């Protein structure tokens, strides 16, 4: 969800509460003002009626409302002295409406020539049900108008205000350490956006410098380490060819040679792993995985035959991945080689390909491996000291770089690694 729409979502949830509270306050304030106004009018009518009663005794005979808005009845002195002006709401039947309508009622007492009377004065009042309904509809329309206004403001005003932020996001999306290692500043007068832009530009420069330094180090390490290792191995091999060297020394030379060869493989694996994690295989293209697997299976047939292991390829669909072809080749090679190395005599390796992914299974005499540890570096599950323990770590790094998932499972002596799209 975009930031502007995310903001609108919260406004849409908060606005009904705010408008509802405002409407309730408005309603009670309006009713209070109307009742105050009606009460003032009733009080004024009371005074006029009492004044007229002192001069015209005939109005004292009006004991029902009828066409008039007041009614008078005689009461005793004690009842009159205990009465105070009381304002209340009541319902009175209206002939033209043929229904009971709300009225405001004032009850009071007065004296004329030592006689006490109760006076009731009425005035037409608000129909609160109708008022509540009208206010409810007004609130709904107000909410819709406010929401539309906020939506328009979001898409016209705020979008323009946030323009530097979206420009910066676009530049970050195009940023690449090997292709486009520079982020140009985005012009803006907003302090926060300017600070964000400056920090992103500075971070991009630092990342590009670090990447360049690491890349140079890897290139130097690949050259400077491989050369002396190769020279040392060659010299030891030449030394072992001398006829006058005792057998004990030959065994020592062989052990040193094996360790140097293991160091060579370890160096190559670590350099490859670092290159993968640093995204130095940036080129991406459509890779036909089926044909690539067929080529690799053919290459591993000699190794499999030497171990008396059968490789079986099953294709149940055409698999195409968008990735660096070398990375996919490294991924498949490591899985097949892992299946050959950790196998049993007269065992089997099966490669199964579908349109959604592929799996490599191998027979084994061992038990299930720990899925939490199997893809970690230097996790070896055999006693073979010639293994460097980085094959499956490289598999995991390749899958992460190519946006793929790799899962491990075990069933009845068969290890299976399944690679699929995320």
Report pLDDT for 380: 54
Report pLDDT for 352: 94
Strands in 62-173 per DSSP E: 70-75, 86-94, 99-112, 115-124
Report pLDDT for 291: 92
Below-50 pLDDT ranges, the chain: 383-388
- Distance, in Å, from the CA atom of 209 to the CA atom of 50, rounded to the nearest integer, reads 99
Report pLDDT for 279: 67
Contact between residue 384 and residue 262 where contact means Cβ atoms under 8 Å apart: no
Report pLDDT for 386: 45
> Whole-model pTM?
0.49
The fold of 285-421 is: Heat Shock Protein 90 (3.30.565)
Report pLDDT for 346: 86
230-260 residue pLDDT tens: 777 787 777 777 777 777 777 787 878 777 7
- Distance, in Å, from the CA atom of 67 to the CA atom of 170, rounded to the nearest integer, reads 79
- Distance, in Å, from the CA atom of 80 to the CA atom of 62, rounded to the nearest integer, reads 18
> For the chain, which residues make up each domain, given as ranges?
24-137, 211-277, 285-421
């Amino acid at each position: 969800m975009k930031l502007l729409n995310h903001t609108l979502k919260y406004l849409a949830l908060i606005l009904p509460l705010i408008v509802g509270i405002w409407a309730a306050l408005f309603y009670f304030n309006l009713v209070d003002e109307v009742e105050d106004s009606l009460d003032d009018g009733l009080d004024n009518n009371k005074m006029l009626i009492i004044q007229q009663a002192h001069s015209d005794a005939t109005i004292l005979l009006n004991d029902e409302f009828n066409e008039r808005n007041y009614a008078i009845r005689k009461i005793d002195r004690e009842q009159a002295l205990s009465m105070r002006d009381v304002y209340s709401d009541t319902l009175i039947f209206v002939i033209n409406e043929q229904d009971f309508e709300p009225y405001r009622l004032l009850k009071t007492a007065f004296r004329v020539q030592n006689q006490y009377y109760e006076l009731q004065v009425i005035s037409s009042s608000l129909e609160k049900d109708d008022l509540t309904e009208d206010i409810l509809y007004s609130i709904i329309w107000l909410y819709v108008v406010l929401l539309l206004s906020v939506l328009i403001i979001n898409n016209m005003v705020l979008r323009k205000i946030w323009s530097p932020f979206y420009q910066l996001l676009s530049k970050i999306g195009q940023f690449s350490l090997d292709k486009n290692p520079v982020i140009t500043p985005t012009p803006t007068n907003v302090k926060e956006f300017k600070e964000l832009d400056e920090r992103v530009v500075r971070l991009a420069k630092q990342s590009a410098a670090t990447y360049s330094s690491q890349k140079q180090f890897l290139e130097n390490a690949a050259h400077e380490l491989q050369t002396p290792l190769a020279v040392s191995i060659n010299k030891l091999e030449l030394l072992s060819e001398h006829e006058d060297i005792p057998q004990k020394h030959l065994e020592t030379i062989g052990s040193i040679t094996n360790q140097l060869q293991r160091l060579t493989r370890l160096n190559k694996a670590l350099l490859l792993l670092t290159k993968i994690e640093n995204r130095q295989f940036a080129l991406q293209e459509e890779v036909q995985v089926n044909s690539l697997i067929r080529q690799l299976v053919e290459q591993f047939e000699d190794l499999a035959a030497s171990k008396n292991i059968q490789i079986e390829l099953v294709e149940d669909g055409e698999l195409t991945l968008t990735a660096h072809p070398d990375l996919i080749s490294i991924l498949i090679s490591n899985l097949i080689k892992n299946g050959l190395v950790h196998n049993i005599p007269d065992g089997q390796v099966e490669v199964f390909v579908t349109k959604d992914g592929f799996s490599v299974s191998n027979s084994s005499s061992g038990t299930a491996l720990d899925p939490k540890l199997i893809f970690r570096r230097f996790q070896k599950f055999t006693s073979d000291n010639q293994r460097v323990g980085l094959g499956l770590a490289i598999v995991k790094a390749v899958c992460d770089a190519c946006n793929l998932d790799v899962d491990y499972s075990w069933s009845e002596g068969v290890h299976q690694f399944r690679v699929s799209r995320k």
